[in-house]
A and B are shown apart, each in its own frame.
Chain A
């Protein structure tokens, strides 16, 4: 099942250990992120007012956040005025129930889906399956992930961790496709044949929404392959699930986001296809349209003054592609449908900082700031990461870590205590050191070396070297070196080793 929800099954550190050991995934990811990164820089450089555009994107989103209820009500009335239906879902279960209920109402045994992270967030496919309805993913990468019973590893290219030979074997096995080669062209053709029949015969489709315009009730899906156009055009019934933060006030605001999104995400001037629709259009497309407005933790994010900026996110994936941690650990390590830097701040917040695994995600970062530089709506991800780290640590009862740091503070506050501790550590580390580093600390300290090596203490500290050094040299009035007491000394450096 491709949908995985947002609750990680283990900590980031545990999951990363597994994914780091997968060289295929790391190679594919490095290639993908490098290619997209370079292309993106060129695409962004073409727009001379890019920085102003980022500011405008952030301003529109902040403005929406300040008047969210007003714009959602406008959106609801505009969609209804155009013959659509609007549903409000407080949480994932409620949203699943609404979608499944509509599909069941039409006697659907199959629904087609255009890639949508919000439906992955609410684990819609599994819920439909429990009610005997099969959800078919129609985005090529999502289809690959679904057939492989895998999980997406990237927001934009969900099957980036799989190579062509794996995909050919999968299509042969699951679609019965007769594939002589593993050329991407042949693989895409096999998917086209399989999916075309589904597009033309399935009555109910489910989509996400990239944006929705409050003033006109216009909903938008941005894509490349045409599967999105198929899903929002060919079936009788269309159900779109969108997070409440996706609303924008006016049609004119799309001018900002249709420039920011494609260049930030696929590094294109424009994506091949974008569909906009408002309610239903007689004689054209689905004649029944449902819009499901999803909260599922978003109002709690909204309530937090620092965390609120997370809701500006337009799901472009620019932050993933520049993140050194994501590039190595891969999307699966984040254990949520929202991977990468944005996932590291969004997932724990959606879960109200209560999930012990999701609460490790704010530490899945080197705080290098590349994500903030890349973000088209200027979400200060490092700021939110640090803020969440603080909140999560504060809420913990006195932990081993807290005791250790309190002890460390006491030791370090007095030079003699600190030096004594160093001497003790230097003696004690003996059996642990290999090649100048400690690879595994014993007992409760082991957490430190789970994900990194610790350099061994040097044989001599700076202070020890300083005390043992020869008397300092100063220049006398005659320009010759002399001791501070005025006695000349030999200019050569002694062979006493400095600090290592």
Chain B
């Protein structure tokens, strides 16, 4: 039955579509000409406008900053992707490496991950769920997400980010684009944070040594 539907639809399309094909050239991605400092600054500003907590830290103080953010939110269980670099974390804190099918994510309060790329134009962080980012549910079910963003990961524009992500997509990895915490404006257009995803998003923006 489905094969027949496919044939029907394709026949209809072939009858319907324009004979002349529009000449079409994609606009090439222009690398950003702006100074790096400005790009990183804008990312921090725009992400904060989306009510993410943006903390600028030197690389040497990353683990301390993670500890501060965790301490601020209380002492619940904290999960991490199994391959998160140990140097990012305060050694004294008990972290649970996530194991799909084993970890009860509803019992996890906070999660610490890295990201694949961050976008200045929009204040967005993108996870391609590769190294140090874990499976998708890990950064979705817990209430608090600490995301580590290295300044070198910040690109200027959406087209640059898309170009950067191409390899992950071609490999079949899923992507999650995050701009601030979960939010709704469905009731009288007043914005409320934390409908379903994490209610708190901390972005630790790390300055390389």
Contacts and interface: CB of A to CB of B under 8 A. Distances in A.
- Return the 8 tightest CB-CB contacts between A and B, nearest first: A226-B197, A226-B196, A303-B16, A299-B12, A270-B122, A141-B186, A255-B159, A255-B162
A371 B22 CA distance: 24
Contacts of B10: 69, 72-73
Interface stretch (A246-254, A339-347, A360-368, A422-430): A246-254
Contacts of A273: 176-179, 182, 197
Contacts of A62: 22, 24
Interface stretch (B61-69, B85-93, B164-172): B164-172
B73 interface: no
A157 B197 contact: no
Interface stretch (A275-283, A376-384, A435-443): A275-283
Given A255-B158, A270-B177, A300-B16, 16 more contacts: A65-B17, A66-B18, A66-B20, A72-B10, A87-B2, A87-B5, A88-B6, A90-B8, A94-B5, A233-B136, A251-B165, A252-B159, A253-B26, A255-B161, A284-B136, A284-B174
A272 B186 contact: no
Nearest to A295: B9
Task: Give the dominant DSSP class at A's interface.
Answer: helix
Interface in B1-46: 2, 5-6, 8-10, 12-18, 20-22, 24, 26-27, 29, 46
A157 B159 CA distance: 28
A187 interface: yes
A476 to B, nearest CB: 66
Interface residues of B, number: 68
A192 interface: yes
A255 to B, nearest CB: 4
B48 to A, nearest CB: 12
Contacts of A63: 21-22, 24
A259 B29 CA distance: 13
A90 B27 CA distance: 35
Contacts of B131: none
A251 B170 contact: yes
Contact of B188 (A163, A259, A262): A163
Contact of A227 (B17, B119, B173, B196): B196
Q: Chain A interface: which size bin?
A: 35 or more
A467 B112 CA distance: 88
A139 B186 contact: yes
B140 interface: yes
B9 A164 contact: no
A216 B186 contact: no
A2 interface: no
Contacts of B46: 269
Contacts of B24: 59-60, 62-63
Contact of A90 (B5, B17, B189): B5
A277 to B, nearest CB: 4
